[in-house]
A = this chain, B = another copy of it.
Amino acid sequence: MTSTLNTLDTPAAVIELPRMMRNIARMQDRMDALGVAFRPHVKTTKCAAVVQAQRDAGARGITVSTLKEAEQFFAGGVVDILYAVGIAPHRLPHALELRRRGCDLTIITDSVASAREIVAFGRAHDEAFPVLVEVDTDGHRSGLHPEGDELLQVAMVLHEGGMRLKGVMTHAGSSYELNTPDALRAMAEQERAGCVMAAERLRAAGLPCPVVSVGSTPTALSATHLEGVTEVRAGVYVFFDLVMHNVGVCAMDDIALSVVTTVIGHQPEKGWVIVDAGWMAMSRDRGTSRQQRDFQYGQVCGLDGAPLAGYLMVGANQEHGIVAREDGIDGDIVARFPIGSRLRILPNHACATGAQFEKYEALSADGDTQAWPRFHGW
């Protein structure tokens, strides 16, 4: 059954397909031009139809953040899967089971302790797990220093323990904190150079390192060259969002995800419109609050998707959003946005907003929408 933006129940998470397809083509073309494989991170969407579009465009394999994602996409026919979160020892039996069923699952680690767990479990079950060693190129979260001793120790433990040491991977997540092309290019180069250095140190020590995997949406879209890198990973580029707009890697009209909401009330003295999308729909993500342009809970657009300058979602309760002008009271708010009328809200963070919904509504250029299920949980 098809619907339109006027007949959908609200709140609804709408994907503008022409924008999504443009975003997918932009990234894949870039990766092709830079001579690297592209492995999209599917944690952003957890949606088979979106991932199919990424694969159709040329993606090779996928990146996941949970074994549930691996299960779901393997069931859907994706075999080459990188689980890009350091593996907890209690998840090794599940990883083994996936591999025994034919999933080419690669795992990652960044400690000798965890590498030893992988080796002990792999040897006990006669499984040579493919493993990437996680490298820290920007200090924002996990990984080993590319120039440190532990990098080689971890690689050695895996290799000598009989695991399939595939190489190194990194994610320069601190690129989300930048907002100039120069800083982004520099971070992309830092990410590339650090990961390639780690790879070269492994090779110099006589260890195998066929894979050099890097990526984040901002660095993938800013790198000028990727010498020594074999693959790039990125996720949020498929939809983009207000945080990425502030980082400077997309325009407002590249943002492919929005939430359709219905006006349910007004507080005219305050210039407020009450809508039926609260934080349960938008998520509590306030990523733009730390950026140069704070969009509160989201940029308000008309149902045609055109931003209404100055109107933001300024507050959110569970199922209520408050829409208002950011620069003062709009005395005409009741007539402008009557009860029952509809708005669209661009989100701070597409990964967080999408995760609030059981399905996307994929909006074609002809105005029809189609439900695209997404999954949830672990």
Contacts and interface: CB of A to CB of B under 8 A. Distances in A.
Residues of A contacting B: mostly:
loop
B319 A274 contact: no
Interface stretch (A183-191, A323-331, A352-360): A352-360
A159 to B, nearest CB: 20
A352 B358 CA distance: 16
A44 B220 CA distance: 40
A279 B276 CA distance: 23
B318 A265 contact: no
A338 B113 contact: yes
B376 A358 contact: yes
Interface string A107-126: 00011011001000000000
Interface in A346-378: 349, 351-352, 355-359, 376-378
Contacts of A262: 88, 90
Interface stretch (A194-202, A206-214, A281-289, A303-311): A281-289
Interface string A314-337: 010111101000000000000000
A339 interface: yes
B141 A317 contact: yes
A178 to B, nearest CB: 17
A65 interface: yes
Contacts of A11: 378
A281 B284 CA distance: 13
A130 interface: no
Contact of A66 (B43, B319, B349): B319
A10 interface: yes
17 contacts: A9-B90, A10-B88, A11-B378, A43-B318, A66-B319, A88-B263, A88-B339, A88-B340, A89-B340, A141-B267, A141-B315, A141-B322, A142-B274, A283-B283, A284-B285, A284-B352, A358-B376
A151 to B, nearest CB: 14
Contacts of A284: 283-286, 349, 352
Interface size band for A: 35 or more
A226 interface: no
A20 B349 CA distance: 33
Interface string A269-313: 000001010011001111000000000000000000000000000
A210 to B, nearest CB: 24
A274 B90 contact: no
Contacts of A358: 376-377
Interface of A: 9-11, 43, 65-66, 85-91, 110-111, 113-114, 117, 136, 141-142, 173, 262-267, 274, 276, 279-280, 283-286, 315, 317-320, 322, 338-340, 349, 351-352, 355-359, 376-378
A317 B173 contact: yes
- Considering the complex of A and B, which 7 residue pairs feature the smallest CB-CB distances, nearest first? A358-B377, A284-B284, A86-B264, A88-B262, A89-B340, A65-B319, A284-B285
A113 B285 contact: no
B320 A142 contact: yes
B43 A319 contact: yes
Given A87-B264, A113-B338, 20 more contacts: A10-B88, A43-B318, A65-B318, A65-B319, A86-B264, A88-B264, A90-B262, A111-B266, A114-B264, A117-B340, A136-B267, A141-B267, A141-B320, A142-B267, A280-B355, A283-B284, A284-B284, A284-B349, A284-B352, A376-B376
